[in-house]
Structure formats: C-alpha cells, structure tokens
Amino acid sequence: MLKRSYYIRHLTRYAFQAALNTRPIASDNRSEYEVSTLLDRGNINSYLLAIKSFVLHAPIPCRISVVSDGSLGPAERDLLSRHIHGVNIHSPVEIPEDRGDDLSVAMRHARVAFPTIRKTYDIFHTMSSKNIIFLDSDYLFLKPMDRSIFEVGEQARMIYNRDHDHSVCDSLFHLSDEFIRRKQIKILKRITDLNCGFMVFSSDVFDMNRIMEFIRYLHVSSNFHTVMEQDAWNILASTIPVRAMPSTYLVGDKSPEFWQRLESDDNIAVHYVSSVRYHSLHYLRTGLKVIRRLS
C-alpha cells in the first residue's frame, strides 16, 4: 500500500502548477546580495514560490541566480526567465576528468553520489556578489523579514537558519569533529545547529578548499552521506563570527515541538525539509496561500 505522503506529494505538485500564474519578479543585478539556488527541473514551481515570496518580504533588492543540477533544458530556462526578469541561470560546473588530484577526484565522486553537494562547488564558481544568500526551493516566506538578518560584517560574517543539534540527531556528525581534530582547525565556537537551506554570508568566507578537504576525508573513509554538505558548513561556521536567525525562521524536523510551532502566527519563514514536506497538508495549504498573495 502506498503511503499517505505519496498522495500528498502528487497533490502538492499538481496544485503548485498555479505558481505559473503568479506575477513576475526581477533580479537586481547591481545588488551586493546574490540569492543562489541549486535547482532541478522537478522543483521549479516550488522554487518560484520560494523566490517570489522571498522577494516580496525581503527588505533589500537582490541579484537572483540559479545553478542547474543538469536537468534544466531550454524550456525550463525560458520559463524561469519569464518569471524572473534578468535571472542569471548557470549550467553545472563540471570538474574536468583530467584533474586527478585527490580533492578533485573526491568531489567528482561526491557529486555523483549526493548531487546536493553541487550547491557548494557550483555556486562557489558562479557567484559574483559581495554577499551570498543560499536559498533552497522548499522554503516559504510568510511575513516581512527584518533587515538585521542580512547585516553581515565583522560582528557576524554569516547569519544562518537554526536547525536541531546535529551532534545529537545526526549519526555521522562526529566525522566533522574528527576532521577538525585531525586538521587542527582553529575553532572560534563550535556550531552544530546550522541549516544551510537559508543563510546569508560574506562571499570571502566561502572556503571551497576546506570544504573539498572535508569531502576528501569522507571519501577516503567511505563515509559520504546525505547531509555532508551541511556538516561542511557547520565546520566553516565554527571558525568565524556567526549569528543564528530568530526561531521565527522555522526549520522542519520530526519533533512534536516543530508541529506545534508550525501552527504559530509568528513564523516569518518555514523550511519544509524533505522529512516533513509531504507528511501533512501544511506545505500544500501554506503554498496555496502564498500563491494567492503573489497572484
């Protein structure tokens, strides 16, 4: 018997076709802030709701960029360009096969095993603004955002969406601790609750070499895993001044507390991560409210 989530997923995807009837937005390509998303063809409608609700509620104009995971063809690119005037659409940034160094080999393998790791390498090689905003396609923004979450500087080089404690909830998080010890990385404050689905940071803290070293460490020990990209960002965040967003920027998990907080009228944004997205009708209902607001 098919699970309830199977039917909710298909119902949601059908209903979110209405995103194609929402008003277009524009990319401000002169902005010092760049919103970047790794996108696949199956999540275009969800992405349109994420980026359009972001623009509606953001206090600053932003450059909007999309990096294809390889599945965006001419039709999808044309659709995105019609809905986001001036959008920057990038093809995947492949690592040449003739690059045989350990770091490149490990990253090539990781990109095949877990394509979400492309969000590090590909965005690093396509970003062009002073400040970068990572945005996953499964976010919905519900209320105006405070300007403070975009104010990166000496006091906070990165501002991130707070998740559960990965050191408690994620079985392989200890590998990042082992990596820190082996590399003798200087830690300012160990960060273990970063969710990289929505975060704002100065582009000069994007240490791609350190991320690739971590991926190589996992590759050598045969420990690639689903959230290794997020673990890499928790490592980087531990070495610089950072600040967590308020709890009104809600990240989904399976705890009873999440479902209780989900009903609060105070939420500014919700990250409907894969573990909860189709387990109830909440994402569908909230998405339809967003569509009405954007139409």
Which pLDDT tens digits describe the chain residue by residue (295 residues)? 568 999 999 999 999 999 999 999 999 999 999 999 999 999 999 999 999 999 999 999 999 999 999 999 999 999 999 999 999 999 999 999 999 999 999 999 999 999 999 999 999 999 999 999 999 999 999 999 999 999 999 999 999 999 999 999 999 999 999 999 999 999 999 999 999 999 999 999 999 999 999 999 999 999 999 999 999 999 999 999 999 999 999 999 888 899 999 999 999 999 999 889 999 999 999 999 999 999 9
**Among residues 75, 10, 95, 77, which one has the least CA distance to residue 39?**
77
23 token code pair? 């008003």
Domain count, the chain: 1
Question: Which residues, in sequence order, are CB contacts of 261 under 8 Å at separation 6+?
Answer: 247, 250, 267
The CA-based angle 162-165-167, given to 5 degrees, is 140
Question: Which residues, in sequence order, are CB contacts of 125 under 8 Å at separation 6+?
Answer: 93
What integer pLDDT is reported at residue 255 of this predicted model? Answer: 87
d(CA 40, CA 69): 6
Question: Model pTM?
Answer: 0.96
d(CA 12, CA 122): 29
**Residue 63: inside a domain, yes or no?**
yes
Whether the Cβ atoms of residue 161 and residue 247 lie closer than 8 Å to each other: no
What single string gives the DSSP state of each residue in 147-176? GGGG--SSS-SEEEEE-S-HHHH-TTTHHH
**Among residues 273, 205, 203, which one has the least CA distance to residue 239?**
205
| Domain of residue 94, CATH code | 3.90.550.10
What integer pLDDT is reported at residue 2 of this predicted model? Answer: 65
**Residue 246: inside a domain, yes or no?**
yes
d(CA 52, CA 58): 10
What integer pLDDT is reported at residue 274 of this predicted model? Answer: 87
**Residue 232: inside a domain, yes or no?**
no
d(CA 278, CA 108): 31
What integer pLDDT is reported at residue 275 of this predicted model? Answer: 80
What integer pLDDT is reported at residue 1 of this predicted model? Answer: 58
**Residue 176: inside a domain, yes or no?**
no
Q: Which residues pair with 242 in a beta bridge?
A: 158
Q: Is 200 helix (H, G, I), strand (E, B) or coil?
A: strand
**Residue 210: inside a domain, yes or no?**
no
What integer pLDDT is reported at residue 21 of this predicted model? Answer: 98
**Residue 280: inside a domain, yes or no?**
yes
The domain in which residue 91 lies consists of: 4-162+193-201+241-294
Q: Residue 75 burial (CB < 10 Å; 0-12/13-18/19+)?
A: exposed
Report the residue count for the chain. Answer: 295
**Residue 174: inside a domain, yes or no?**
no
d(CA 166, CA 250): 16
**Residue 154: inside a domain, yes or no?**
yes
